[in-house]
Structure 1
Amino acid sequence: MGTAAVVVYGATGHTGRFVVAELRRRGFAAVVSGRDASRLEELAAEWGDVEVRPATVDDAGSLDRALAGAAAVINCAGPFAVTAGPVVGAALRAGIPYLDVAAELEANVATFADHERAAAAAGTPVVPAMAFFGGLGDLLVTAAMGDWTSAEVAHVAYGLSSWHPTSGTRAAGRVSHERRAGRRVRFADGALRYHDDAVTEQDWVFPEPLGRRSVIAEFTMADAVTVPSHVAVPEVRTYMTVEAARDLAAADTPAPEPADELGRSDQTFVVDVVVGSGGVERRATARGRDIYAVTAPLVVEALERVLSGRTRTTGVASAGAMFDAPDFLRALAPYVSVELPH
């Protein structure tokens, strides 16, 4: 994989710090980047073996300097509606792979729409939403599909024990809310569709021990962009446990706090995927801890595979299109345990 460093843009954020730690754990040299030079210097002093290259998304030259000579860039800086376009552009100018952890639907739509042609022409991998939301669900759907070439529907149910949002999550949510003018969104009849329908609840039967839980129906996440980007499926439906949705909605829910030696919170999750076609269903499930912390092994595993050539395509592609989904999911142990169709 060479000795060139990996740039983490947004390294001082909650998820960014997990990503830098995972890179260092796996032996990568890391460059920390972002707009706050003093915070970057504090991070460098804490770790001692990372290089600092400040950059801002409104200064293309600073981004070019930050990415000069790098092996790849991982964008962890939200809102991605603001950062993704400029950082993808800088990666394409540098001729290096780009990965991000964007959960924002509109930002991911824009990455595919705005950069697909240039990335394909350059033969440069661009992997958006390589995170808990958008990446893990896409990999599970792809693994559940197996030898199917299409499905009638893909369900992605999120069983979170709680949700203590970071400041970045709240900021991204505000941006998305403004861009949608308060409307909700679903993926139906082969397209993202905005609507004003009331929020509804239903039951979802997760694998034991979680079991039957009340969920918010049509709690649409980035899977509604990543899955149909490569799977022939007219409907992608995502669900969220009611308790977690209420945590997210409450203004006084505190940010996550570390509860173990890795800095993870005590939040646990189950992601339960069911794909259906012709009356037959296939299921794939993942379990783990801390949706922010688990994004680090997800995106760094993707990075390792991109840099070592273990990919299935190039240009802009989601996790399920870019990688061997069952093999990727099994490689996430011990952070994620999976149950896949035989």
Structure 2
Amino acid sequence: MSEQQYQNVAIAVYGASGHTGRFVLSELARRNLKAVAVGRSAAKLAEAGVQAAEIREASIDDANSLDRAFSGVAAVINCAGPFLDTADPVAAAALRTGAHYFDVTAEQGSALSTYETFDSDARQAGLVFIPAMGFYGGFVDLLVSALLDDWVAVDDIRIGIALDSWHPTIGSRNTGRRNTARRLVVANGQLSPIPLPAAEQEWEFLQPFGLQRVIEQPFSEISVVNRHVRSPEVHTYLNETGYRDIHDPNTPPPVAVDETGLSAQRFMVEVVVRKGNEERHISASGRDIYAFTAPLVCEAVQQVLAGRVRVHGAQAPGAVFDALEFLNALAPDHLSFEILGV
């Protein structure tokens, strides 16, 4: 599909009335891409003021309703968590209707299920299925992939996430209550339960964060990176501020501070990959992890529809896209990043 042609196709956003779903709809509109807003109640979507070319109704409990909602669309973006409940039925409907599938899960089990369940069928259908194409998951995988360059395998990958605050959405709270499985890391070449108590250490981030106390807290990036990168060790660390906020039930939801709906939250993600005695380091920063997910997943959809992909099937973004080209497409409006040591 040419870049001119994909602007005439429709993209379904499931969970369109949610916090992230609204950002995704706005980003699709900014890119002049036709959006179909999908939710359990079309009337409630309309009452909520959801803006889209079409509004359709569907429930994960009704496969026929999902098929009708995704009829004629080229891609489906699933923004409705918990994804342990929604990913399989929404992805299955996308496959039946011949649409590419994307979601923004931070849930390790959900991403693993999408890979295992849909890879073969999506590949045969010439479709791209990318779970976890959000801040947690696909973003980190792109940073890792940009660092690898000529390295086919590495000895160690360390991921540090610094947030100046983390005010979770209602969806994040619901997901946390649903996602009770023991978190996984890659240790000794295998996906393994995280050792408890979680490891703590210090991480020297670039400014403005600087030295931070961090706690091992893996998200869906572990599942995603392990999908295509050969490394016996992959570990993620979240700074104490973010860790404290998300584990405090009294932390309020995010509050918009401007007309775009973004919060004031700032983030920095750093990745260090090591091979032997050589290390490579990337640092990336931006604003509002929920809002940032929208240009991230919409850029993925746009590149897939334009045919700028390396492989089909259920894949990690670093296997599908040129990672450095992808990151540059987000800079400087949504992201700034710096690579050291490549």
Normalized against structure 2, the TM-score is what? 0.95
Displacement after TM superposition at 1:211 (Å)? 1.2
Secondary structure class of the residue paired with 1:32: strand
Distance 1:124 1:164 in 2: 35
Displacement after TM superposition at 1:223 (Å)? 1.1
RMSD: 1.3
- Aligned partner of 2:3 in structure 1 is none
Deviations 1:232-260 (CA, angstroms, capped at 9, x unpaired)? 11111000010111000001100001012
Q: 1:60 aligned to 2:63? A: yes
Distance 2:201 2:86 in 1: 36
Long gaps (5+) in structure 1: none
Distance 2:254 2:151 in 1: 39
* Structure 2 counterparts to residues 193-208 of structure 1, below 5 A: 193-195=192-194, 197-208=196-207
- Aligned partner of 2:87 in structure 1 is 84
1:294 to 292, 295, 301: 292
- Aligned partner of 1:29 in structure 2 is 34
1:156 to 159, 168, 184: 159
Q: 1:42 aligned to 2:40? A: no
Q: 1:133 aligned to 2:132? A: no
Deviations 1:124-168 (CA, angstroms, capped at 9, x unpaired)? 100111100001100000001111000011111001111000111
Normalized against structure 1, the TM-score is what? 0.95
Secondary structure class of the residue paired with 1:114: helix
Name the amino acid aligned to 1:110: S
Name the amino acid aligned to 2:267: F
Q: 1:185 aligned to 2:184? A: yes
- Aligned partner of 1:16 in structure 2 is 21
Q: 1:18 to 1:2 in 2, by over 3 A?
A: closer
Q: 1:324 aligned to 2:329? A: no
Displacement after TM superposition at 1:98 (Å)? 0.6
- Aligned partner of 1:311 in structure 2 is 309
Moved runs in structure 1, 4+ residues, more than 6 A?
none
1:239 to 211, 229, 237: 237
Distance 2:89 2:313 in 1: 17
* Structure 2 counterparts to residues 166-181 of structure 1, below 5 A: 166-177=169-180, 180=181
Name the amino acid aligned to 1:336: L
Distance 2:330 2:44 in 1: 30
Long gaps (5+) in structure 2: 1-5
Displacement after TM superposition at 1:46 (Å)? 5.1
Secondary structure class of the residue paired with 2:142: helix
Distance 1:46 1:184 in 2: 35
Displacement after TM superposition at 1:37 (Å)? 2.7
Aligned positions, number: 335
Distance 1:279 1:261 in 2: 48
* Structure 2 counterparts to residues 272-283 of structure 1, below 5 A: 272-283=270-281
1:72 to 63, 70, 75: 75
Secondary structure class of the residue paired with 1:221: coil
Q: 1:212 aligned to 2:211? A: yes
* Structure 2 counterparts to residues 257-268 of structure 1, below 5 A: 257-268=255-266
1:251 to 249, 252, 270: 249
Distance 1:156 1:52 in 2: 39
* Structure 2 counterparts to residues 96-111 of structure 1, below 5 A: 96-111=99-114
